[in-house]
Amino acid sequence: MTVFLVNPACLDARVTDEDALLVPMGLFYIGALLKESGFNVRIVNLAVEQKPMDRLRAMVDAEHPAIVGFSVLNANRFSAIEGAGVVKAVDPEILVVFGGPCATFLWDHLFTTCPSLDCVVKGEGELTFLELAERIRHRGKKQNPSIHGDREIKGLALRSGCSDGKMDGPGIVHTREREPIEDLDSLPIPGRYFDLAHVSLSRGCPGRCTFCGSPRFWPGSRVRFHSPSWFVEQLCLLNQRGITHFFVSDDTFTMDKTRVIEVCRLIIEKRLSITWVAISRADFIDPGILGWMRRAGCTQISFGVESGSAAIRQTLGKPMKRERIVRAFALTASFGILPRAYFIYGSPGETAQTIDESLELIMEIRPLSAIFYLLVLFPGTGLYENLVDQGKLFDSVWSQKIEDIPWFEVDPDLDFERVKAFGHSLRKCFYSNLSDFAAGVQLVDDPLFYPLHADFLSRLAMTFSHGEYSRNPWVKDPMATAHILFERALAYHPDLRAFLGLAMVFQKERRFDRAVEMAAQGLNHFKSSRDLTICMAVSLMNLGRFQEALGFLEPFEQDPDVKVYVDACKQRIQ
Ligand code: B12
Ligand code: SF4
């Protein structure tokens, strides 16, 4: 029996944001469990299709799945609704299921607006969906969508007449609530069946942030974990298939220090050559854990700072002490892990004064990366539910073609122009001071970390010389910053990226003699580096030293990229 698991497309086109095109991790978890139970599973990513509905129609027509499950966020709900219609138009007997945060909190609205929707899986989806699929496998498609059986399937909302259960609203019944999966390790490893780079060690968060859907989606303050060995086994499997960089997507990865250190110990013991980034909170960071994380390949930790105003942090449900935030950023950077700050603006109570406080905090924490989000509302968050309770907002608002609701639209004290100006001043402050933050970063003086410091500084330098920061007009003299950082890197340890980067900076400055010197120093350490060799040859060519350049290029003559240079040298020598 075939099951389709679909990632619908977001409403707004995202030209540069590849994140929004990714299949959510939960679909891989569900897919792995179904595969292990003998189902034929197809992951369908509509977000990357030019004509998503045509593609879906063609696939359903060709493969006739028994069930099509859509992973629904608020941003992609219209694509899910349209997709459901497409599926039913091909074959009305196919069971259409919605799951994910939007389906969990907005099931009522979705049943009303999507006649093709048969049932909603609320919350954690693996076991509910598996039982549903098994029921259909045993009873056949014809009897669906009656989920009737000897045993009720917990965790569902479905149209009446489909099952016994508790009636809620016109024609919708709910089965009993499903208990959380106690042993997350009992789930098959998604990486055994699929290629994915987003992984997680836990489910849930002890936080209570009022703008975040996580606390109500993964209810209870109790966080559940995979064991370190399960987690690292998945990394190994994925790494064997060529994935070398991971996004650890736990809400607060460093919550259980002992477990995280064990994860790091296993990564180091297995000599996994990977890099990874994680998300944490300033109150779950200390030098012990950072040292382990850095040695195990962690290159960046993101912290939700949210605001420089203590009052706004309180309103947003994150009453974190300022000193803790400052300390977490300094500590993280000192271990050569890039500290990234998430700020939110346009919050309840936001004024020019609170924005000034955020600007001051930016100057104090000196983040090396920052993302500034406009506060938006989603169902299931404290802020949204309060407004609904007060009768100021209704779920019917989601009939409009919007991905989310900016807070300023419901706040008489704010308006678009003011909020836009707030965002502008935050971004300007960060980017125009970034060169100073980066050049002045203070690192722990421990020889064990010197090679890692060189790696960190040269990566950071690259973002100024060739990456994101090199193109940002607010960033002051990015090349000079790159130069300082590459030199600092080499003062710690011979680092291939730093030699190459510095040689390329000299090339850009047309100081080819210095570029040759730098490439030569690099080649002393990294003799077989193709990139350094090419850099050396190109610098020599610019100095008119074609014969020497040819000497460097000849070992790589077969490489089509190199052949151009070889031919050019030969021409000039003749
Ligand atoms: C990591 C993450 C991302 C990663 C996702 C990487 C990946 N490949 O998974 C990235 C950075 C790409 C991302 C992007 C976005 N995200 Co995000 N993300 C998260 C985060 C922090 C964790 C998600 C996660 O992996 N959880 C663990 C897995 C196991 O859970 P899951 O994927 O939700 O799946 C489970 C259930 O939801 C359910 N389920 C899910 N789908 C389905 C489908 C079926 C058929 C069934 C039966 C069940 C089911 O069962 C699954 C297994 O138990 C959550 C917050 C949170 N803690 O949940 C926000 C969150 C999901 N993201 C959110 C948002 C807004 C976005 C963006 C729209 C942001 C943007 N403006 O672009 C984009 C949209 C991306 C897209 N594909 O459409 C919101 C969604 C709010 C809402 N109600 O819609 C959340 C809840 C955060 C918040 N603000 O509260 N995100
Ligand atoms: S924002 Fe982060 S810390 Fe706050 S509740 Fe959500 S996941 Fe937890």
The CATH number of residue 529's host domain is 1.25.40.10
- Report the CATH number at residue 213: 3.20.20.70
User: Once rounded to an integer, what is the mean pLDDT over residues 134-144?
Assistant: 72
Residue 142 has pLDDT above 60, yes or no: no
Residue 338 has pLDDT above 70, yes or no: yes
Residues 273 and 416 in one domain: yes
Residues of the chain with pLDDT > 90, as a percent, come to: 90
Measured in Å, residue 214 CA sits from the centre of ligand 1 at: 9
Residues 512 and 537 in one domain: yes
Residue 427 has pLDDT above 90, yes or no: yes
Which DSSP state fits 188? P
From 71, 184, 381, the mutation candidate for ligand 1 (largest count of ligand atoms within 8 A of CB) is: 71
From 73, 118, 158, 209, the mutation candidate for ligand 1 (largest count of ligand atoms within 8 A of CB) is: 73
Among 150, 168, 234, CA closest to 200: 234
Is residue 189 situated within a structural domain? Answer: no
Give me the pLDDT at residue 165, please.
52
Residues 289 and 426 in one domain: yes
Measured in Å, residue 207 CA sits from the centre of ligand 2 at: 5
Residues 425, 341: Cα–Cα separation, whole Å: 16
pLDDT digits (tens, 9 = 90+) for 185-235: 999 999 999 999 999 999 999 899 999 999 999 976 689 999 999 999 999
Residues 511 and 557 in one domain: yes
Is residue 364 situated within a structural domain? Answer: yes
Question: Ligand 1: which residues within 6 Å by Cβ?
Answer: 7, 10, 19-20, 22-27, 29-30, 47, 69-71, 73-76, 97, 99-102, 121, 124-126, 129, 198, 200, 212-214, 217, 249, 251, 378, 380
Residues 477 and 461 in one domain: yes
- Adjacent-strand bridge partners of 306: 343
Residue 272 has φ and ψ, to the nearest 5°, of -75, 120
- Cα atoms in the 13 Å half-sphere on the side-chain side of 151: 8
| pLDDT confidence tier of residue 169, bands split at 50, 70 and 90 | low
Give me the pLDDT at residue 12, please.
87
Of the candidates 407, 439, 471, which is a domain's last residue? 439
From 15, 17, 19, 110, the mutation candidate for ligand 1 (largest count of ligand atoms within 8 A of CB) is: 19
pLDDT digits (tens, 9 = 90+) for 372-409: 999 999 999 999 999 999 999 999 999 999 999 999 99
Q: Which ligand is nearest to the CA of 218?
A: 1
Residue located via tokens 């399960």: 230
pLDDT digits (tens, 9 = 90+) for 239-287: 999 999 999 999 999 999 999 999 999 999 999 999 999 999 999 999 9
Residues 301 and 400 in one domain: yes
Q: Is residue 34 within 8 Å of 41, Cβ to Cβ? A: yes
Q: Structure tokens of 527?
A: 């003799």
Q: Is residue 255 within 8 Å of 223, Cβ to Cβ? A: yes
Residue 203 has φ and ψ, to the nearest 5°, of -130, 130
Is residue 140 situated within a structural domain? Answer: yes
For CA atoms 126, 132, 137, 142, the dihedral sign is: negative
Is residue 192 situated within a structural domain? Answer: no
| pLDDT confidence tier of residue 144, bands split at 50, 70 and 90 | very low
Is residue 278 situated within a structural domain? Answer: yes
- Cα atoms in the 13 Å half-sphere on the side-chain side of 434: 29
Of 15 and 234, which is predicted with more confidence?
A: 234
DSSP helix/strand/coil, 202: strand
pLDDT digits (tens, 9 = 90+) for 475-486: 999 999 999 999
C-alpha dist (Å) from residue 370 to 323, 406, 563: 19, 20, 42
Of 555 and 361, which is predicted with more confidence?
A: 361
Ligand 2 contact via 344 beta carbon (within 6 Å): no
pTM of the model: 0.95
Residue located via tokens 């999966």: 181
pLDDT digits (tens, 9 = 90+) for 499-532: 999 999 999 999 999 999 999 999 999 999 999 9
Give me the pLDDT at residue 518, please.
97
Residues 296, 278: Cα–Cα separation, whole Å: 12
Residues 263 and 373 in one domain: yes
User: For ligand 2, what atom is nearest to the CA of residue 251?
Assistant: 7
Ligand 2 contact via 41 beta carbon (within 6 Å): no
Of the candidates 412, 439, 466, which is a domain's last residue? 439
pLDDT digits (tens, 9 = 90+) for 38-87: 999 999 999 999 999 999 999 999 999 999 999 999 999 999 999 999 99
Residue nearest to atom 8 of ligand 2 (CA): 207
Residues 245 and 355 in one domain: yes
Q: What residues contact residue 199 under an 8 Å CB cut-off, 6+ apart?
A: 25, 191, 231, 234, 235, 238, 246, 247, 248, 249
Q: Which ligand is nearest to the CA of 101?
A: 1
Residue 145 has pLDDT above 70, yes or no: no
Give me the pLDDT at residue 476, please.
97
Of the candidates 406, 439, 472, which is a domain's last residue? 439
Residue nearest to atom 58 of ligand 1 (CA): 214
SS3 string of 49-85? Answer: CCCHHHHHHHHHHHHCCCEEEEECCHHHHHHHHHHHH
Q: What average pLDDT does the structure give for the chain? A: 94
Q: How many domains does the chain have?
A: 3
Is residue 232 situated within a structural domain? Answer: yes
Ligand 2 contact via 251 beta carbon (within 6 Å): yes
Residue nearest to atom 69 of ligand 1 (CA): 20
Measured in Å, residue 295 CA sits from the centre of ligand 2 at: 26
User: Once rounded to an integer, what is the mean pLDDT over residues 422-429?
Assistant: 98
Instruction: Give the full edge-to-edge strand order of the sheet including 119-121.
Output: 40-45, 2-7, 67-71, 95-99, 119-121, 156-159, 172-174, 166-167
User: For ligand 1, what atom is nearest to the CA of residue 25?
Assistant: 9
Of 143 and 10, which is predicted with more confidence?
A: 10
Among 197, 330, 162, CA closest to 276: 197
User: For ligand 2, what atom is nearest to the CA of residue 279?
Assistant: 2
Residue located via tokens 């420089």: 308
Is residue 235 situated within a structural domain? Answer: yes
User: Once rounded to an integer, what is the mean pLDDT over residues 429-452?
Assistant: 98
Q: Is residue 317 within 8 Å of 375, Cβ to Cβ? A: no
- Report the CATH number at residue 162: 3.40.50.280
Contacts 24+ apart (CB under 8 A), 534-541: 534/561, 534/562, 534/565, 535/500, 535/503, 535/504, 535/507, 536/503, 537/565, 537/569, 538/507, 538/565, 539/503, 539/506, 539/507, 539/512, 539/515, 540/512, 540/516, 541/565, 541/568, 541/569, 541/572
Residues 278 and 386 in one domain: yes
Residue 365 has pLDDT above 90, yes or no: yes
Residues 307 and 366 in one domain: yes
Residues 286 and 214 in one domain: yes
Q: What share of the chain is helix, strand, coil (3-state, %, to 5)?
A: 55, 15, 35
Question: Domain limits at 389?
Answer: 197-439
User: Once rounded to an integer, what is the mean pLDDT over residues 9-13?
Assistant: 90
pLDDT digits (tens, 9 = 90+) for 312-321: 999 999 999 9
User: Once rounded to an integer, what is the mean pLDDT over residues 537-544?
Assistant: 96
Residues 285 and 358 in one domain: yes
Q: Structure tokens of 81?
A: 């609704």
DSSP helix/strand/coil, 206: coil
Is residue 333 situated within a structural domain? Answer: yes
Among 122, 127, 124, 123, CA closest to 165: 122
Give the CA diameter of the chain: 89
Give me the pLDDT at residue 13, please.
80
DSSP helix/strand/coil, 166: strand
Q: Is residue 524 within 8 Å of 532, Cβ to Cβ? A: no
Measured in Å, residue 539 CA sits from the centre of ligand 2 at: 50
In what helix (H) or strand (E) does residue 205 lie, and over which residues does it extend? none
C-alpha Rg value of the chain to the nearest Å: 27
Q: Is residue 46 within 8 Å of 55, Cβ to Cβ? A: yes
| pLDDT confidence tier of residue 148, bands split at 50, 70 and 90 | low
